[in-house]
Amino acid sequence: MSTREQILIVDDQENNRLVVEDHLRKLRCDIHGASSGEEALEMLSAIKPDCILMDIMMPGMDGVETTRRIKSLKAFEEIPVLMITARDEVSGIQDALDAGAVDYLVKPVEPTALLARVRSALRTRHAFQQVRDLNQDLLAQKKELSNFTHMVSHDLKSPVVGAASLFNFFLYRLRDDYPEILEDDGMNEMLQRIPDTFTKLLSFINTMLDYAEAGRVIGKQEMVSMDKVLSAVVQNFEYAVNEGMVHFEKEGSFPEVWCDPVRMVQVWQNLIANAIKYRGEKNPVRVSLGGGLLQNGWKFWVDDNGPGIPDHEFENIFQPFVRADHETEGSGIGLATSDRILKAHGGIIRVEPKPSEGARFVFELPNPI
C-alpha cells in the first residue's frame, strides 16, 4: 500500500472530479474518485483517506448525509471533510458543518484556495494522528507502570513478611539462650528498632498495592449508607481522639450512595489521616466531615484547621509521591489512591482554597440512576 497521503473526491459529475484532481496533482498524493455517497462509504476501508472533498448536491445520498455517516464511524471520525458547493447551494453549508465538515469551497473552485484548504486539512489530520499516537503511548506506559508497581509490591510482601517472622523467632531465641546480649542497652535498642522497620516497610508495600489496585479493582457496588461508612472510619481513629490529636465534627447529611463500600472506607481514611498527619502544631486538629445531595449525585468533604496547603500545590497534590510537607514522613500515595478510587466510580476529588487556615478536600460521586 502506498505511503503517500490519500485524498478522496466525491462528486457525481466526472468532469468536476477530474478538474479537482488536476488541481491537486501538485500535492503528490494518491487521489481517488467516487461518483456517489454510497460508493464513497464502500471505498473508505480500502483507501483510508486522509482528506475527503465532498460535493453537497448528489442524487441518492447527498454530501451532508454522507459526511454525517462517515463521522459516525469511529475509525474515520477524525478525517477532515471539505465541502464543495455551487453558489446557489450555500444555504446547505451550515448543515454540512453541523454534520462534521471542517470547511467548504464554492464552485468554480479556485486552484490556489483549493490547495491551501487541502494542505491545511492534511496538516490537521497529521497533527491529530500524532496526538492520538502519543495518547496511546502514554496510556500503554501508564498501564505498564501500574502493572509493574502491583507486581513489585506483591512480590516484595511475602519475603518481607517471612523475614519479619524469622527475626521475631530469632529475638525470641535470643531472649531465652543469650539474655546477656539484651542486657546491653545499645544492642537492645538497636534490636528493638528492627521490628519497627519491618512494620514501616510492610505499611509502605500495602500502600503501594492499594494505589496499584485502586483504579482497576473495584468490588461490588451497592447502595451504602455513607453515615455508617463514616462511623466505622471515625472509630478507626479512636486512638487519635484519645491521644488528643484530632477532634471530629459532622455537618450536613450523609445519604445512601452507590459505591464499593470497602473502597469508600479507604477514601475517607486517607483524607482524615492526611489531616491528622499534617496537623502541624494543632493538638487537637479540628476535622469537620460533611456531606449532602447534588442534582445528579452526592458531595462530601473533609475540612480541617491545620496549616493548610499552598495554592501552588493544588495542581499536583493528587499525583503519586507528592507531599505538601516534605518534613513529614509518608509515602505521598494516599491522596493519589483516593483520586484513582473516585475516578473508577465516575467521581472526582479536588482541594478547595480556604480564606482562613486549613485545608478542604471535596469529592463527588454520581448517581447512576
* Residue pLDDT, tens place only, 57-111: 999 999 999 999 999 998 898 999 999 988 666 677 888 899 999 999 988 889 9
For residue 362, the one-letter residue type is V
Instruction: Enumerate long-range contacts of 37-46, CB under 8 Å, 24 or more apart.
Output: 37/10, 37/61, 37/62, 37/63, 37/65, 37/66, 37/69, 39/10, 40/8, 40/10, 40/66, 40/70, 41/66, 41/69, 41/70, 43/8, 44/70, 44/73, 44/76, 45/75
DSSP state string for 113-142: HHHHHHHHHHHHHHHHHHHHHHHHHHHHHH
Give the C-alpha separation, 63 to 101, whole Å: 10
Query: Closest by alpha carbon to 52, among 167, 44, 254, 86?
Result: 44
State the pLDDT at residue 223: 92
| DSSP structure class, residue 159 | H
Give the C-alpha separation, 303 to 271, whole Å: 9
Query: Closest by alpha carbon to 151, among 207, 105, 99, 208?
Result: 208
Grid cell, residue 181, equals 546480649
For residue 237, the one-letter residue type is F
Which residues pair with residue 253 across a beta bridge? none
Give the C-alpha separation, 351 to 315, whole Å: 9
Kindly list the distances between the CA atom of residue 26 and the CA atoms of 5, 112, 119, 124, 188, in Å, as whole numbers in the listed order. Answer: 13, 11, 11, 19, 85
Q: Are strands 222-225 and 256-259 parallel, antiparallel or unpaired?
A: antiparallel
Q: What is the SS3 assignment for 279? A: coil
Give the C-alpha separation, 192 to 174, whole Å: 12
Report yes or no: 319 and 331 within 8 Å, Cβ to Cβ: no
pTM given for the model: 0.50
State the pLDDT at residue 175: 80
Report yes or no: 114 and 20 within 8 Å, Cβ to Cβ: yes
Element (DSSP H or E) covering residue 251 = strand 246-252
State the pLDDT at residue 328: 46
Report yes or no: 101 and 92 within 8 Å, Cβ to Cβ: no
Give, to the nearest 10 degrees, the angle between helix 185-214 and helix 334-344.
20
Report yes or no: 78 and 125 within 8 Å, Cβ to Cβ: yes
Kindly list the distances between the CA atom of residue 88 and the CA atoms of 13, 36, 85, 91, 107, in Å, as whole numbers in the listed order. Answer: 17, 20, 8, 8, 10
State the pLDDT at residue 23: 92
Which residue positions in the chain have pLDDT lower than 50?
A: 326-328, 330
Query: Closest by alpha carbon to 102, among 86, 88, 83, 126?
Result: 83
State the pLDDT at residue 136: 83
Phi, psi at 108, each rounded to 5°? -70, 135
187 Cα distance to chain centroid: 50
State the pLDDT at residue 161: 75
Q: What is the SS3 assignment for 316? A: coil
| Cβ neighbours of residue 77 closer than 8 Å, sequence gap 6 or more | 70, 71, 100
State the pLDDT at residue 145: 65
State the pLDDT at residue 355: 66
State the pLDDT at residue 8: 96
